[in-house]
Every structure is written in C-alpha cells, then in structure tokens.
Chains A and B, each alone.
Chain A
C-alpha cells in the first residue's frame, strides 16, 4: 500500500522567508511524528500528534516552528523567518497508534540560503 508521502521533496528558500512542509501519513494511522536530520547529526524529535492534538511539542527548537494536523490525517510543519541553521532533512513518520513502530517518509530537504 501507499507509504508516508512528503512534499516538496526539496525546498530552497532565502533566509527570513517562511516555509511550509506537508506530510500525508499512511491511511488509518492515528499517530504522526516530525523529526529533523541535520548533516552529521542523528534524527532529532520535533513533535508528536495523536489525532489532531499534539501532546508532545517538546522537540520544537524555537517559536519559529509550528505544526498542525487536520482531519486526523495531513500535517503541515511551518518554519517562520527561516535561518541557515534550519537547513536539514525534515522527516515525517506515522504509526497505527501510539504503541506501534514508526514508518517514515522520504523527507523534505530544506536548504536556507
């Protein structure tokens, strides 16, 4: 079946601009996660959704980062006033419920110039 879909696959933006990254989870998966993978770093947790609510936002690095999920499905990660240190691959993952392993998408590679 279809896996986790992320768009765009690549995004180049100028410093100071806002960007939106989209994630379509696997159909029927109630839990959705965002992670960030920076060059030479491990994957870093950003935020977790169960349904449309976000019980764990502890990984968001600053108030420039926000995310929402609508209809218990699609999620959008928004980065305002992008900085060069935001350059990374942003990965979305979903799972059947909060107690199941994650299935990742292929990520959005964000480059801030």
Chain B
C-alpha cells in the first residue's frame, strides 16, 4: 500500500532559523514526489516535483531533495510569511501523475 509519513507534525522556528521537514514514503514504483504549501482556508499551492533519487530543486528559501525512501524540504533563513502547512505527496507508476497519496502535513510557524 502506498504511504506517506511527514515529520514533525508541527514546527516552530524563529525568523532566520533554518531547518528541514521530512517526508518518508512507500510506493510501488515512484512516478513523482510533490511538495505543496497550504495556507489556512486555501487550496494547496504547488511547489516542486521530484522524479528520481538525487534530484534537487530550489525556489527562494526552499530546497527539496529526494532519496529512494524519503524527501526533505530545507528552509533556509525562514521568514514569517513562510508560515503554512507543507504537504508531501507521491504518485506511483501505475497511475496518472495527479493521482496522489498525501501525507498529513507539517504545520510550520515562523515567529519574528
């Protein structure tokens, strides 16, 4: 069964304090691993897609990495506006890319 586990469930950081969020996955043939950001009352906002182990992608203060068993979302020098829930999801080779299995998310709070 395809599964995604995210840790920690919640993370509080002071502005400028770098950290990483973890996403462990079990999938019968990875087609893609996705990171989304979700603000309260909003739908998830697409951040990154990673397709193979060793791949890395960056956007502003965020960097996503992928191994065969997990992905990390590194946040460098976060700002209060980075506060959100970060969702990880996987797609397997037997399905369309958008048929995703989501983790429960990491709720990030960055305080000034």
A residues sitting closer than 8 Å to B (CB atoms) are 4, 31, 33, 35, 40-45, 48, 50, 55-56, 91, 93, 95, 98-107
Picked from B41, B43, B100, the residue with its CB within 8 Å of the CB of A4 is: B43
C-alpha spacing A95/B96, complex, angstroms: 11
Cross-chain contact A99 with B87 (CB below 8 angstroms):
no
Which residue of chain A has its CB nearest to the CB of B100?
A: A45
- The answer to whether the Cβ of B72 comes within 8 Å of any Cβ in the partner chain is no
Cross-chain contact B97 with A43 (CB below 8 angstroms):
no
C-alpha spacing A66/B89, complex, angstroms: 25
B 24-46 contacts with A by CB, 8 A: 34, 36, 41-46
- Chain A residues closer than 8 Å to B34, beta-carbon distance: 101
Helix, strand, loop or mixed for chain A's interface? strand
Cross-chain contact A43 with B44 (CB below 8 angstroms):
yes
Picked from A43, A48, A104, the residue with its CB within 8 Å of the CB of B96 is: A48
Cross-chain contact A43 with B95 (CB below 8 angstroms):
no
Interface residues as binary, B89-112 with A (CB distance below 8 Å gives 1, 0 otherwise):
100000111111111110000000
C-alpha spacing A68/B56, complex, angstroms: 38
C-alpha spacing A61/B97, complex, angstroms: 21
CB distance from B8 to the nearest CB of A (A): 15
